[in-house]
Amino acid sequence: MMKINIGQYVVGDSVMHKSDPRTKIILTFVFLAVVLLIDSFIGFGICLAFVAFTVINSGISIRSALRGMKPIFFLLLITVTLNLFTIPGKSLISFWVFNITDQGVIVSLKTALRLLLLVSGASILTFVTTPTVLTDGIETLMSPLKRIKVPVHEFAMMMTIALRFIPTLLEESDKIIKAQSARGADFDTGNLFKRVKAYVPIIIPLLFGSFMRANELATAMEARCYKGGEGRTRMKVLAFSKNDVIVVFAFLILVAVEIVLRVYGKALI
């Protein structure tokens, strides 16, 4: 089964793939703002259904997308655990110095869903947009900043390169873990400190490989006479189409539903 990593582009022919990158970037920020304002499980459920529909419509299986988000599960576990044992409320389970309350469970679930939606919503943008097109979209949206001498093109290029190399670094770390495991390294047993120490032999070669790859990329850009965005032209000029209208309409429905729930659904959990 295909494994999809965060930041990886997935080839497709969906409406989202064909939409203008500027539309997708703006609507991604709108979606993230909506997720931060959600305060009910019904609202979270609607957003999860919207994300699932978008992922499936883009030709990506839900299972593959979730497998690619494994790196955030550890952060998710820590966040949920801290909320579960620190939020006051009516006690449900109490043992030793730990006390799980009803509010702790509710806040933990909402925090987990919010974090999952934030990461998945941002990931969809990279799933359906190539790095080159994403760079053009970011640069175009930030073009007014050129008037105050902000290096917009270079900034957009750096952001896109960073996103582009996330899946590469994840694949590289997976290869190093498998190589170390074949040599007898143990990453699954022992206490927390022992497991963290076991990952030191992975971090060092991963950092070394990252610096080597950055140096190779810089050499390749210099060999192609890359001098920044000054005087550069584009083979494909960005233009809005009917696909953007469809995507915007779908997002407007989502935002409208969430606003109604926010204003009139305060009694909902």
pLDDT of the residue at 265 = 64
pLDDT of the residue at 11 = 81
pLDDT at 2 over 70: no
pLDDT of the residue at 210 = 85
Between residues 86 and 13, the one the model is more confident about: 13
State percent of the chain over pLDDT 90: 5
- Average the pLDDT over 9-28 and give the result: 87
186 φ, ψ (degrees, to nearest 5): -120, 120
pLDDT of the residue at 23 = 92
Structure tokens of 71?
């790196």
Average model confidence (pLDDT) across the chain:
80
pLDDT at 195 over 80: no
Please report which confidence band the pLDDT of residue 1 belongs to, taking 50, 70 and 90 as the band edges: very low
Structure tokens of 33?
């703002």
CB 18 within 8 A of CB 241: yes
The full set of domain ranges for the chain reads: 1-129+239-269, 148-236
pLDDT of the residue at 12 = 80
91-95/98-101 β-pairing: antiparallel
Give the single-character DSSP code of 64.
Answer: H
pLDDT at 192 over 60: yes
- Average the pLDDT over 136-159 and give the result: 83
253 in helix, strand or coil?
Answer: helix
Q: Which residues pair with 95 in a beta bridge?
A: 98
pTM of the model: 0.74
- Average the pLDDT over 7-21 and give the result: 82
- Is residue 93 within a helix (H) or strand (E), and if so which, with residue range? strand 91-95
pLDDT at 268 over 60: no
